[in-house]
């Protein structure tokens, strides 16, 4: 029940129709008796810098969940950017720090990695390909690097985004072999679709599925369907995979800690969201 | 259940703790299966002009409920101000009009008058005193004038607000006898507290209760308690009265029409809010 004392978590992105977080956080708040609510706010890119500043001046603001297309833009608008978000060059969570400052972190990559590890896969020493170097792809790449992959290949048609990410990865992880410019998925232990391809019906597949070995583990970030056309195709090839919502649920415990809420497990959160 | 498609009604005011509207509208939306939510946003006066503009650029905004201290300031920020709001010099509801324009109206006075009439009182030809010429007092005065009172006395320590309201009333209602400058409640059929006095423990009473005749009908706008100290005092004198939340519930059917939602009666809304 929303009331005058309810703390507000602004869920900032555009468009909003596919937002999932309100249906995860709000049942958790209700179950724990926490007087807070996640509210979708469809903020367009042109308005984002001004709106972010003003929404954090509201007296009942608690924080913001940031999603497309604002994850990269957020970094430049904050007073403090946590290390993972700095390497990723993107933020998906913002809260108030001392003196009304804005503090941001990035949990997409952490959620992705937690999900892969929970499925028993080994990331230390692995060879990974991340297709898509926007906010979520950068976050996944940053967290894969931190998890100890030996080689990381990046592809994005937006060359400056791809090169910027490669540069930050090389600077922070000098032992990591970073390559750029090819989306060919042959020869990798892990390949990830971190593009929006699959959100719209009729989107092309993000990479050449015929070149993915059946032993390759496949990650997906798109959540328009549990099994996207890309995952359907890799399943037909015999690949094991992780769905987009695994990344989402696996990262929420880290978010809860960041926002100062009591802990919950991904399974518990899935259960509350489904009830 | 809030989701990505949910239409947002921003409840703008400061402070927010005493807000009642979320607990009225949100149960109504749930009961009717309307995918909309009222969300308190504690916007301070300095930020209000910018925030109002940006919140109406959100892709999922449906409207705004405006409360203290922004009702008067809102008028100058809109593209179209409906007649009642123009006389009141204050707005408590804003929605999008054609081409992204902002349209505002004021329903406090309408709610007040509907409540008084529902209690069987006659306003045509009556003599009324309104103490407090802020947003809500101005709205009540405007609606009392429209309801046909013969004489209207106004008092506010903020002389420019009082004189501005008197001027607008005289301009729009040339037959009405408007007087200003005294809060003495002797000799009126209706007296109204439209000041915030009574919101805080220890506030003085808004007028000299000993001078209110037992036959005078008394209106209150403060909702901090159902029976405020002022109402308690007039009850001891034997006066009939209207509580603050009557004005609130009586105006909501007008709000619903303004925002394009299906109708509901004040009784139905009270019932949903209490359940």
User: What ipTM did this prediction achieve?
Assistant: 0.89
Computed on alpha carbons and rounded to an integer, the radius of gyration of chain B in Å comes to 18
Q: What pLDDT sits at residue A88?
A: 94
* Domains annotated on chain B, with CATH: 7-107+251-274 (3.40.50.10860), 109-246 (3.40.50.720)
Please tell me the number of Cα atoms within 13 Å of B49 on its side-chain side: 6
Cβ within 8 Å, pair B20-A39: no
Residues 6+ apart with CB under 8 A from A120: none
Q: What pLDDT sits at residue B224?
A: 87
Cβ within 8 Å, pair B19-A40: no
Instruction: List the single residue in A with minimal CA-CA distance to B50.
Output: A54
Q: What pLDDT sits at residue A224?
A: 87
Cβ within 8 Å, pair A5-B15: no
Cβ within 8 Å, pair B26-A54: no
Per-residue pLDDT of chain B (275 residues; tens, 9 = 90+): 999 999 999 999 999 998 999 999 999 999 999 999 999 999 999 999 999 999 999 999 999 999 989 999 999 999 999 999 999 999 999 999 999 999 999 999 999 999 999 999 999 999 999 999 999 999 999 999 999 999 999 999 999 999 999 999 999 999 999 999 999 999 999 999 999 999 999 999 999 999 999 999 999 999 989 999 999 999 999 999 999 999 999 999 999 999 999 999 999 999 999 98
Cβ-based contacts of B43 with chain A (< 8 Å): 57-59
Cβ contact A125:A148 at 8 Å? yes
A57 DSSP assignment: T
Cβ-based contacts of A23 with chain B (< 8 Å): 1-3
In chain B, DSSP assigns E strands to: 7-13, 36-42, 61-66, 80-81, 93-96, 102-105, 127-131, 151-155, 177-180, 190-193, 217-220, 241-242
Q: What pLDDT sits at residue A59?
A: 98
Cβ contact A15:B3 at 8 Å? no
Residues 6+ apart with CB under 8 A from B56: B64, B94, B96, B100, B102
Other CB atoms within 10 Å distance of the CB of residue B149? 25
Q: What is the mean pLDDT of residues A13-27?
A: 95
Mean pLDDT of chain B, nearest integer? 96
Q: What is the mean pLDDT of residues A206-228?
A: 96
| B71 catalytically annotated | yes
């Amino acid at each position: 029940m929303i009331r005058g004392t309810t703390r507000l978590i602004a869920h900032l992105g555009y468009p909003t129709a596919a937002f999932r977080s309100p249906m995860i956080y709000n049942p958790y708040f209700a179950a724990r008796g926490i007087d807070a609510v996640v509210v979708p706010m469809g903020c367009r890119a042109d308005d984002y810098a001004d709106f972010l500043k003003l929404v954090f001046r509201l007296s009942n603001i608690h924080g913001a969940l940031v999603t497309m297309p604002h994850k990269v833009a957020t970094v430049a608008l904050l007073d403090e950017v946590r290390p993972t978000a700095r390497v990723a060059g993107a933020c998906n969570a913002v809260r108030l720090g001392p003196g009304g400052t804005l503090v941001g972190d990035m949990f997409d990559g952490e959620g992705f990695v937690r999900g892969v590890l929970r499925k028993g896969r080994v990331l230390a020493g692995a060879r990974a390909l991340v297709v898509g170097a926007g906010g979520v792809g950068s976050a996944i790449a940053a967290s894969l690097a931190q998890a100890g992959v030996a080689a990381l290949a990046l592809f994005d048609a937006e060359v400056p985004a791809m090169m910027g990410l490669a540069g930050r990865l090389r600077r922070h992880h000098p032992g990591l072999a970073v390559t750029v410019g090819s989306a060919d998925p042959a020869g990798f232990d892990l390949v990830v679709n971190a593009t929006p391809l699959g959100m719209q019906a009729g989107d092309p597949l993000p990479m050449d599925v015929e070149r993915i070995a059946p032993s390759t583990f496949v990650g997906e970030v798109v959540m328009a369907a549990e099994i996207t056309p890309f995952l359907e195709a890799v399943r037909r090839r015999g690949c094991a995979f992780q769905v987009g919502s695994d990344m989402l649920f696996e990262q929420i415990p880290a978010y809860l800690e960041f926002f100062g809420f009591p802990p919950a497990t991904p399974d518990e959160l899935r259960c509350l969201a489904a009830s």
